[in-house]
Structure 1
Amino acid sequence: MTQFDPDKKDKTELGINLGAAYASGDLTNSDDGAGIGLGIGLHLRKALDHIFSARVDLNFASYKNSLESASTETKTTWLGADLMGVITLNNFKIDKGEKKTNVYMGVGPGLNSFKVEATPPGIDDGRRYEDVDSKLGVHAAFVGGLAFKVGSNMSFGIEHKVYVPVGDRADLLDGVKLVSGGGSFSQSNDIGHFTNLSLNFHLGKDDMVEPLFWVSPLTVMYKDLAEVKARPKLDLTDTDGDGVIDMLDQEKDTPSGAPVDTRGIAMDSDGDGLADHEDKEPYSAPGYDIDREGVAQIPPPATLTEEDVIRIGKAQGWDAASKMAPGLADWFLPIVHFNFDRYDIKDTEVSKLYQVAMVMQKNPSIRVVAHGHTDKVASNTYNNVLSYNRAAAAIDHIVGKFGVDRSRFVLNWGGEDSSLIDSSGRNMINRRVEFRVATNEAEMGRPEGPNAGKGGSFSGNRDAGY
């Protein structure tokens, strides 16, 4: 038997019904009764919860009716489909566990099509026998039954179904109408019956539970209570005093003061096989052997003497006497940008000048060109002076703030002639000072023209000549 799990989906019941079909109506008002025929059906039943479920039925029935005192008989062929709501009655009784029986009742609407053949048609013994053609009609369906479980995926049962046609065909199910004394017909609605045995299968995947109408609503509660009862009593004893109670502690004799993990096991942070409280070096570098105290045995790093460096450099074609190594002129140095019509250094650009200064301090043999530029808003004469002022301001900042000698700079200016962006208006990308390692460039003097641009005050470094 599959253990019920409320978190899993339940299976669907498929039933095969076989039994006796007959109609009660005009003929059953006589002493002879109605004829019993064969009924076959299929149904699908899906639980909505432990008590309510939905059921769809398809049914076929064929039966004959006759009177011993009359020479006429009728044969009825019925085909119907029903949609019913079903209630599991014994789930109103609260008990635990899976049930062995299922008592249920249901009701719902249905569609039908039936025909009746009268042999021969006519009036006989106060009753009129007539043929009834197939026609779609509606009916009310009722069912009641008792099912027995024979396994986790099968059950069998006995049930009785009743069909009550409605409309102008409600008295034609047996093909007979009563004739009153005046020759008119009296309405006496017929009722269809289907008493059957059902063989039911529970359809679904292996990990699904049986249909909920086979399970008591309190099963989940009993299961949860059983789990709670099975749990050990809470014991807060902590024998080794490591902060993890004995119920959870996987190492109950940890030395006092030793750091432990959430399981109560002494920690080994570097994974070298020695617990931290015994390890002289709890965070040894990985990949090295350790000594008895847990210290990694790292070999000393290889060192190069000055002679080694010179020897290697010469082998690579490096001239130690050269002031600039090959490729140094191709170094990328930052570009400093300016506000419109200004040459003072923006706060956002100070870090770039710092980077230039650091390169020059670490490479004392190089000289650097500071090349000023502008956008194309003012006249060419004005822009030449402004570009000069910007290059001078950048050099002054590095000299004054970082102590780089002024003689290591080459000031160049280009005005608006070397725009990065082809634009005749304001453009911050074009308002710049570029830095590069000097090769053969010469210092450019101030261009002719009045002062251009606006700049803040500047305090220089006395030792640098400012």
Structure 2
Amino acid sequence: MQITKHLMKGALALALSFGAWTPSQGQISVNPTDDQFVSKKYESQHAEWKKGESQFPGRPRDMWQLGVGAGSFLISGDVQSQFGWGASVHVRKSLGYVMSLKAEYMFGQASGLNYQASSQNSYQDIEPFTTQYAGPNTLFYANYKIPQYHALSLQSVFNLNNIKFHKKSNKWSLNLILGLGVNMYRTTTNALDANGNAYDFSRVALDANGDPIDLSTLSGRREVRNNIKGILDDDYETSAQQNSNNIFTFGEDGKKMAVNPFMNVGLSLEYLITPRLSLALEHQGFISVDDYIDAKQKNETGDFTSNIDIPHYTSIRLGFHLGKKDKRIQPLWFVNPLVYPMSDVADLKKKLDDDLFKDDDNDGVPNKIDEEPDTPENAIVDTKGRTMDSDGDEVPDHLDKEPFSPPGYKVDEDGVAAVPKPLTPEDIKVVGDNERLVIGDETFDPLGGGGKGMLNDWYLPMIHFDLDKYKLRPESYEQLRHIARVMQAYPDLKVVVHGHTDVRASDEYNDRLSYNRAMTAIDYIVNQYEIDRSRFIAKFNGEASNLIPSAAGEQEHFMNRRVEFYIAEDGETEGAKPEGDGGRNRNWKY
């Protein structure tokens, strides 16, 4: 007991000195942006995480725990245990937020005494029982004392309540303990009196009147045990029988120490007083295959019992957390791992509430990336907040009644281009021997004679295509009909059919696609209106000549995916077919 008192006094003094370190003098933060806590191994990962390039922050360095404890030590076995004491010291280090490793040394003393008498057959066939308690009616009351019990173990400690959704830190820690270790002990029995004779237990179970004491009551059992204690001396002179399966024994004869392996199982409830100090209540059981720890493996009638002996150690512990407070946080089993994502979410919400998505001109583009912070109301803007003018006619889209005007024509204040109407059969009159073409009130001379202008001054419509296709869209048929009617009205007229694509896909692919679009239009007019193929000059430009050079949205790309028609000039020839067919060998249906 003196050892325990000195141990607790020293631990108390050390705890008071640690307790003097208060949170106000330097509370350890667990903010994930505190770089000084991150170990060198994780510094690069932590830097990437802060920049958003890694999903996980670097692991912080945490403190080691040096612990001392003291409490009750007893043996659960065949002999009823009496008060015993134990003391321990351990070192513990976290492997993560849930699991930690603990190395522990424990020392204890235990004793026990039965209130029921045992026959000679219930005890070991060793001296002095074979000589002193040889008679069939001789009574002996099982007792033992363990003057020294040593246990060394390595334990895995699992935190069962470390994840907190509603608070930053974790003050209470509930832990499950699983470990392996080895014990060393010697058990003795008080079998003989001071003169080396067997004790006379014949009257310990009788009351003052000589009547049997009722052992079914607690008071009766207590009375018998007190009577036995009144007879026994303090000398446990006889070494108990030991397990034949011991790993080994050592020491002089009569005082041999047994060594056996065991498994730790336990629970602890730990409270964080300060980041430097914790207090815990812990219970452990040491499970092995040894049934000789309490000096008895048979019941009072001499039959073997099925239960093994299990030492139990219940202790109060102080944990001292060691490490520089500006370099290490408290042990990780007291740190909520959700502090990282929760802190990140809180920081992001604060930035969102402040100015990250602030948009003064209400154009849908935050001020942070808005290159035109004072956009007019209702203006259509691009991804950088700039007012859009899709057709480049200097009339912004939100005021432009024709936001995709054909190029090359003057526009009015509403952005509408002055484009001549498409030809209709009613507009066309052929005069004479196809030498002149009269459109409405205008006469055109293709040979450059006395007419008011060349036929190629007249605008022919263009057609558009879906992405990655050269199949005609429904609205294209009417426009192709207009072109066919003009060519039917003037049989010597040749028309250039010029295919284009948007900027997506490779140059080679787009060349083939633009050629196929031109050929689709030519094939349709040739087949439907019986116009000779030689009157068409097919050309293609792929993505080289876009109407909208910096097309971004789908609507702008659509304007670039087109086939244009215009009157061929003298000597104009058809371009070479691009390599590959782009899929036109599939017998395409219009």
Q: State the TM-score bracket (shorter-chain normalisation).
A: 0.3 to 0.5
Question: Which structure dedicates a bigger proportion of its chain to helix?
Answer: 2
Question: Which structure dedicates a bigger proportion of its chain to strand?
Answer: 1
TM-score normalised per structure 2: 0.36
TM-score normalised per structure 1: 0.45
